[in-house]
Amino acid sequence: MESVLNISAYLFTPIADREQLRPVLRERANAVGLKGTILLAEEGINMFLAGDAEALRGYVDQLREDPRFTGLTTKESWSAQQPFRKMLVKLKREIIRMDHPTIRPIEERAPAVAPRTLKRWLDQGHDDDGREVVMLDTRNAFEVDYGTFEGALDWRIARFTQFPDSASAHREALADKTVVSFCTGGIRCEKATIYLREEGVDALQLEGGILGYFEHVGADHYDGECFVFDEREALAPDLTPRTGLAS
């Protein structure tokens, strides 16, 4: 029976007191038996947590009481066992490292496309303006190998810090197309899409990433699974884990 709730969430929001916030979040999580990882940076929060459903949802609700985190949204999935070994709260320079300080989703998000709208575009073979839709996978190559959208571009990057150079090198091939960038849960595309648009590419981000697409659409136009950074290893389009954690 799948009784362990797993959530992923991120939010670009100013955090000036992350050193003081770190022990508070860790102690709250330990008090209710949660495990996972929370990343804190001046640009925001990124979290992957698992535990009892009531305790975990209560933890997130308490976090949202802080005005900085009111807009935090979570993606949920389930497993039979705890996929994390410990509870960690880490301080980072960026919640997703790009090494490109001028790219600041905290100031303005790039436009996004909803999962069901994207499915409709892929079904009909073009967007609502009749333009070709190009899917662009912004994840690392080993993640892409677990599964990706049909026909998606894969630049075989080894780490996200390589994305800007790859995007600049392939800019001409993306001209006059509607480019939809995607990643696991959406966080990398917050930065990737801003960079693409600064390069003159008509780019959108997939709202909620692959996991959001799985939740709202399922497997349509997607081949394989989605790699996740915990002991479940990968999730199928029905959000069940590949590993023995499912049973």
Query: Is residue 156 in some structural domain?
Result: yes
CATH no. for residue 17? 3.30.70.100
pLDDT tens per residue across span 25-54: 999 999 999 999 999 999 999 999 999 999
87 and 175 housed in the same domain = no
139 and 217 housed in the same domain = yes
Mean pLDDT over each residue of the chain, to the nearest integer: 96
Q: How many domains does the chain have?
A: 2
- pLDDT of 118 > 70? The answer is yes
What is the per-residue pLDDT for 176? 94
Asked which of 27, 56, 91 is the last residue of a domain, the reply is 91
Read off φ and ψ for residue 108, nearest 5 degrees.
-165, 125
Asked which of 57, 91, 125 is the last residue of a domain, the reply is 91
64 and 125 housed in the same domain = no
Query: Is residue 99 in some structural domain?
Result: no
pLDDT tens per residue across span 60-84: 999 999 999 999 999 999 999 999 9
136 and 204 housed in the same domain = yes
* Confidence at 246, pLDDT banded by 50, 70, 90: very low
Strand partners, 133: 178
For residues 183-205, average pLDDT: 97
Active site members: 183
Residue 184: Cβ within 10 Å count: 22
120 and 227 housed in the same domain = yes
Domain housing 28: 4-91
69 and 126 housed in the same domain = no
- pLDDT of 192 > 70? The answer is yes
41 and 131 housed in the same domain = no
Q: Between β-strands 4-12 and 44-51, what pairing exists: parallel, antiparallel or unpaired?
A: antiparallel
- pLDDT of 234 > 50? The answer is yes
- pLDDT of 244 > 50? The answer is no
Asked which of 41, 57, 91 is the last residue of a domain, the reply is 91
- pLDDT of 247 > 60? The answer is no
149 and 241 housed in the same domain = yes
CATH no. for residue 153? 3.40.250.10
212 and 176 housed in the same domain = yes
For residues 189-203, average pLDDT: 97
What is the per-residue pLDDT for 55? 98
